A = this chain, B = another copy of it.
């Protein structure tokens, strides 16, 4: 039925070892023999069985990546970076969606490990002790992608979320705003949530502006929640003149909520956020935001993983990529 290395060997009149050699590009094969083998392969339509090869060599040339939400444009941008580099180093990707559920994250980590991936890329939210526990049982390298663990025990690549948020709010303050509302992510999320809130807080405190409870509201990162939270802000007696949103999506939601109430952005309300998803430049007014190098986060983390898998020793196992303010049209003077 299926044609194996044995069949090829017989067809070419050589041993299976020789066939294995030519398939694996081993130089110790006479060119003529190599030719014979290739012809036999062609004739028989032989296709190497990567599973058998994986069992024998203990390498699968595939890496697992766990992704919190494949339909979120941030992650799919990052995934592109991962894919490109993986492809460059001839790795394939087993992509597992984890629905942002911790339990499912742990589960897929384990099935990925069962599949004998050569390495693991983890793009999750929080890295808990349970995660660390699961990682510890792995005999292959792991790198965190767009997140970090508190203790910095696992290699990772990410931006400095607090600093990014700080820069965003700082820009608002520089424009004379003092009544600055924040649409935050959940504070349980260390990266996009808590860290970005910390950056907001730090910028205000440093400018001597009090951080008040009524000016901070938690959303769920999505457009709709940005819209809802903005409606709340609009009803405040002393409403903010500027908004810092933890994500672009929420910022866009906020802009539309304001516009739907007849406000002009940025004239009546300034809005800034963090991410720079593609949509940020596809809305009117175009969104001013702090760009996160999503493609690079994916690419760099995959590159780091290839080094680790290759047992090269890496100097920096925790890399922080730079962010950058993209000034567009959603921020104006107070």
Contact = CB atoms under 8 A, between A and B. Distances in A.
Interface stretch (A111-119, A164-172, A234-242): A111-119
A38 to B, nearest CB: 16
Interface in A222-261: 223, 249, 252-253, 256, 259
Contact of A92 (B71, B76, B96): B96
A271 to B, nearest CB: 14
- Max chain B CB contacts within 10 Å: which of A48, A92, A137? A92
A70 B71 CA distance: 10
A139 B282 contact: no
Contacts of A112: 92
Contacts of A49: 55, 114, 116
Contacts of A111: 50, 92
A223 B286 CA distance: 14
Give the dominant DSSP class at A's interface: helix
Contacts of A70: 76, 79-80, 83
A80 B97 contact: yes
Contacts of A92: 94, 96, 111-112, 115
Contact of A51 (B45, B110, B116, B282): B116
A209 interface: no
Contact of A283 (B87, B97, B115, B283): B283
A86 to B, nearest CB: 9
A176 interface: no
B76 A71 contact: yes
What number of copies of this chain does the assembly contain?
2
A100 interface: no
Contacts of A71: 73, 76-77, 79-80
A259 B279 CA distance: 17
A325 interface: no
A147 interface: no
Contact of A83 (B50, B79, B97, B223): B97
A218 interface: no
A292 interface: no
A319 to B, nearest CB: 22
30 contacts: A47-B110, A47-B114, A47-B137, A48-B114, A49-B55, A49-B114, A49-B116, A50-B116, A51-B51, A51-B54, A51-B55, A52-B55, A55-B55, A62-B115, A70-B83, A71-B73, A71-B76, A76-B76, A83-B95, A83-B97, A84-B97, A93-B94, A93-B95, A93-B96, A223-B278, A256-B282, A279-B279, A279-B282, A282-B283, A283-B283
Given A2-B139, A47-B137, A49-B114, 13 more contacts: A51-B60, A51-B116, A55-B55, A70-B76, A71-B73, A83-B95, A92-B111, A92-B112, A249-B282, A252-B282, A256-B284, A259-B284, A283-B283
